[in-house]
Amino acid sequence: MSTSLSWGRHYLMTEPTHYRIDYAINPFMDTEIQPDPARARAQWDTLKATIEELGGRVDVIAPRADSPDMVYAMNLGFAATLADGRRHVILSHMRFPERRNETRSALDWFAANGWGTAYVGKDGIGPCFEAGDVFPFAGHLVAGTGPRTDELALKTLAAELNVRVLGVRTTHSGMYHLDLAFCPLDERRAIICPDALAPESAQALLDLIPEPLVITEEEALTTFAANSIVIGRTIVMPSCPDRIRTVLEGWGFTIRIVEMSELHLGGGSVRCVTNPLDIVVGRDVPVVYGGEVVAT
């Protein structure tokens, strides 16, 4: 049996108090189709309760009235504990100005809770970086570039966190963050939708995963199956087609379904509203980016 993920039991979430569709910055959003506030809150509450029932911990950051997308807390920043024990977060520099105020509240929350903070870019100046594009897997930090994160941001991530960064290029407008197409399950397995990636990037990521669960474009877009979280050997998913369930249960995972339909209207699901706070990176290895050692 594969070793369970070493992270994924402590999350930061933002209540959907101000969640609404004020603009359209991804193919799922339509200002004419608004989420039902009561149903969105109930779905969010159920997800939080499920995480806690499974032994996870949830911290909550207050939402901003001017930031209707802040419920998608995954994109506030990439938080990790470094090899020397310091807790450090790389704050997101959102592609779209409509989301940039979220970072101001994220900075205050992380600083108040003992995290060191850093920026890739800020206030529209410098590379864009959104944390939904970044996952640790197999000794690397896998980072999607393209729709939301600039390639130039990856060198900063590598140097700040002292990790190997594997950049993969996302090309699908509907899977604009890597977290819609890639989900680490344990130390050997991950869900991946190659159709979200440029061919050479899809192959590079497939080569990194000893046992990949390949899903189709349709499965990724209609079920949000890759936008899931893993707590031990339980996968919390918004839905799970029979084909995918058969593979996951054959690997020894338990599936928990949490309805997230109201959050899907904004283009996110289980993973998008949960930002992991228990990732550990930087184990005294050289930082490799683009074939060049940039730090040791």
Euclidean distance between CA atoms 40 and 259, whole angstroms: 10
* pTM for this predicted structure: 0.94
Structure tokens at 217: 């474009």
pLDDT at 283: 55
Residues 6+ apart with CB under 8 A from 15: 41, 44, 60, 62, 63, 71
User: Phi and psi of 234, rounded to 5°?
Assistant: -110, 130
What are all long-range contacts of 281-285, with beta carbons under 8 Å and residues at least 24 apart? 281/80, 281/81, 281/82, 281/83, 281/136, 281/141, 281/161, 281/162, 281/163, 282/80, 282/82, 282/83, 282/84, 282/161, 282/162, 282/163, 283/83, 283/139, 284/83, 284/162, 285/139, 285/162, 285/163, 285/164
Euclidean distance between CA atoms 139 and 88, whole angstroms: 18
Structure tokens at 150: 């600039």
- Domain annotation for the chain: domains and CATH numbers: 10-283 (3.75.10.10)
Residues 6+ apart with CB under 8 A from 118: 88, 89, 90, 91, 156, 160
For residues 185 and 251, is the Cβ–Cβ distance under 8 A?
A: yes
For residues 141 and 161, is the Cβ–Cβ distance under 8 A?
A: yes
* 237 beta partners: 257
**Burial of 87 from C-beta contacts in 10 A (0-12 / 13-18 / 19+):** middle
Structure tokens at 127: 């590379």
Per-residue pLDDT of the chain (296 residues; tens, 9 = 90+): 578 999 999 999 999 999 999 999 999 999 999 999 999 999 999 999 999 999 999 999 999 999 999 999 999 999 999 989 999 999 999 999 999 999 999 999 999 999 999 999 999 999 999 999 999 999 899 999 999 999 999 999 999 998 989 999 999 999 999 999 999 999 999 999 999 999 999 999 999 999 999 999 999 999 999 999 999 999 999 999 999 999 999 999 999 999 999 999 999 999 999 999 999 997 544 333 343 333 33
Euclidean distance between CA atoms 232 and 6, whole angstroms: 8
pLDDT at 282: 73
